[in-house]
Structure 1
Amino acid sequence: MTVSIIETSKYNLKSPYLIEGFPGIGLVGTISANYLVEKLGMDLLGYVSSEKFSPIASVHNHMPLHPARMYQSKKHNLVVLFSELIVPMNTIYPLSQEIFGWAKKHKVRQIVSLGGINIKGEQDEVYGIASLPELSRMIERKGVKLIREGVTTGVSGLLLADCATRSFPAISLLAEAHAEYMDPKGAAMVLDALSKIINIKIDTRELNEQSKEIESKVKELLDQAKDVHEEYKKATTLGPMYG
């Protein structure tokens, strides 16, 4: 079984950051990486291919695209890789190896993974894990809360472990997010943290507006569900209709 990064355009960067985002809690990784591509006006560099991926094509602006894609920006010296599909379990290891190999070959200065973590109380923290002690100290100075003990999973987790083993600079940024639905607020939080780390201004106002709309809709649905529940309770206390 093979997983390959296929370049369809000429790579023209020197020692860029590689940002990656895959589906996970609140879809934070996918939303934030895709938003970054759109906001920075990045150019399509290539895509990820595997015979184990679902037979899906994404359609954007009338154009069919591979759901796992890579973009580059010469202006920002940045590469972004993200997926709109859930990566099959049996492709996670070869995919993380392919990403690491690509990063080494193209002299990437640092890998930054974007994702979500289950919310605890107020949604106000971005957590981080780094492959090197000096990176841990750096992200802590930037306001990221370090994870001392725990687990991190999926492509990003395995990639981070590989980077730590090989002393390659890598960071995982995890914003508190709701697991039950897509969470633009979590995406905005993780991009705000990323902005401080890579020194690129990222306007996240649209994500915050989307978050307010989603939260309003969720509240409306919860209120409706509560009303239905109350009506059901009233009906059951009236006793049987017949008998």
Structure 2
Amino acid sequence: MNTMTQKLEKIDPTCVPFLEGKLSRIVIDDAICENLKSQEKPPLFIIGFAGVGLIGTILANELVEQLKMKQIGHVLSEDLPPITVFYDGVLKHPFRLYYQEKFNLVVSLCEVPFNPGSYSDLARTLMNWALSQGIQDVLCVQGMADESIAVRDTPSPVFAAAEEEILEKILAHGVKRPPKGLIMGAEAAILNECLNNQLNGAVFLTPANPHLPSPEGAASILEKMSDVYGFPIKLDGLLKQSSEIKQRLLELQKQTNNVHSQNLPIAGRNIYS
């Protein structure tokens, strides 16, 4: 049986509230797990990591907030550094899973970077869980490092690389086919697991400065994902963030020029706060 035939086979989903790999494990709320299993169609799985331009993290957070997604579980892994995050003083797992029943959408949100050279076991564990839930399409997001970019005034171009089963569907919505290239990092580990299993993997790409957050890049990718997969999204908030970051950069540049003209030392400033 060839790979394409295997991918097209229907997988009978099994409720898996706990799945453990060698260095990673996934814990899911039992009731939500059963709900995922009962869906007529496989959930769409979108994964956001803390990479170039923080595009994956920004995008995943925006989906969680706008679609009022419910946290259904978390991911633990020795591939992640010992970092904990909190919101309004409340501690949260840095790697969380969310679900939106109406749009049958699972979002994975990781807010901390991986340890260098790690993530293979975590990717395998996460994709084994996806297979157990009958998931078929897995979408990753990645910024293409370009230090010449500050904050754009125009929409960021969106590219996509995907397996044949879903590539034409994505390209039909104005997404560009990228030239030959390499994908590295956690997204590559996820996509390799998709290639080796009954999962259709895709990565949405857009240029971003590795030293600046890119809400405009996240907005451009979200718009295309919304067109392709039919979930609603508003871009005003993300585009406003981009405008505010640009204004802070302009203010900082003006202050820097003034300091240089007076030969005074430059005081450090956080342009994102």
What is the TM-score of this pair, normalised by structure 1?
Answer: 0.88
Q: Do the aligned residues in 2 keep the contact of 1:33 with 1:114 (CA within 8 Å)?
A: no
AA aligned to 1:3 is S
1:91 is paired with a residue of what secondary structure?
A: coil
> How much has 1:222 moved relative to structure 2?
2.2
Aligned length: 232
Q: Greater CA deviation, 217-226 or 202-211?
A: 217-226
Match of 1:16 in 2: 43
Q: Greater CA deviation, 134-143 or 40-49?
A: 134-143
Match of 1:238 in 2: none
CA distance in 2, matches of 1:90, 1:152: 14
AA aligned to 2:26 is I
CA distance in 2, matches of 1:147, 1:166: 24
> How much has 1:41 moved relative to structure 2?
0.5
Alignment map for 1:53-132 (pairs within 5 Å): 53-119=80-146, 124-130=156-162, 132=163
Identity %: 30
1:218-241 CA deviation, whole Å, 9 max, x = no partner? 1221232233344449xxxxxxxx
Q: Do the aligned residues in 2 keep the contact of 1:3 with 1:48 (CA within 8 Å)?
A: yes
CA distance in 1, matches of 2:118, 2:70: 26
AA aligned to 2:28 is E
2:72 is paired with a residue of what secondary structure?
A: strand
Q: Greater CA deviation, 143-152 or 31-40?
A: 143-152
In structure 1, which of residues 171, 175, 179 is the aligned counterpart of residue 206 of structure 2? Answer: 175
> How much has 1:91 moved relative to structure 2?
3.2
AA aligned to 1:129 is A
Residues 155 and 52 from structure 1, CA distance in 2 versus in 1: closer, same or farther, beyond 3 angstroms?
closer
AA aligned to 1:128 is A
CA distance in 2, matches of 1:80, 1:27: 16
Q: Do the aligned residues in 1 keep the contact of 2:47 with 2:138 (CA within 8 Å)?
A: yes
1:29-59 CA deviation, whole Å, 9 max, x = no partner? 0011011011100111111112453333221
Q: Greater CA deviation, 27-36 or 155-164?
A: 155-164
CA distance in 2, matches of 1:91, 1:46: 22
Residues 171 and 151 from structure 1, CA distance in 2 versus in 1: closer, same or farther, beyond 3 angstroms?
same
Match of 2:61 in 1: 34
Q: Do the aligned residues in 1 keep the contact of 2:144 with 2:205 (CA within 8 Å)?
A: yes
> How much has 1:64 moved relative to structure 2?
1.2
1:49 is paired with a residue of what secondary structure?
A: strand
Kindly report the root-mean-square deviation, in angstroms, between the aligned alpha carbons of the 2 structures.
2.0
> How much has 1:62 moved relative to structure 2?
3.9
CA distance in 2, matches of 1:183, 1:22: 13
2:118 is paired with a residue of what secondary structure?
A: helix
2:73 is paired with a residue of what secondary structure?
A: strand
Match of 1:151 in 2: 182
Q: Greater CA deviation, 198-207 or 57-66?
A: 57-66
Alignment map for 1:193-208 (pairs within 5 Å): 193-208=224-239
Match of 1:222 in 2: 253
CA distance in 2, matches of 1:72, 1:167: 21
Q: Is 1:6 the counterpart of 2:38 in the alignment?
A: no
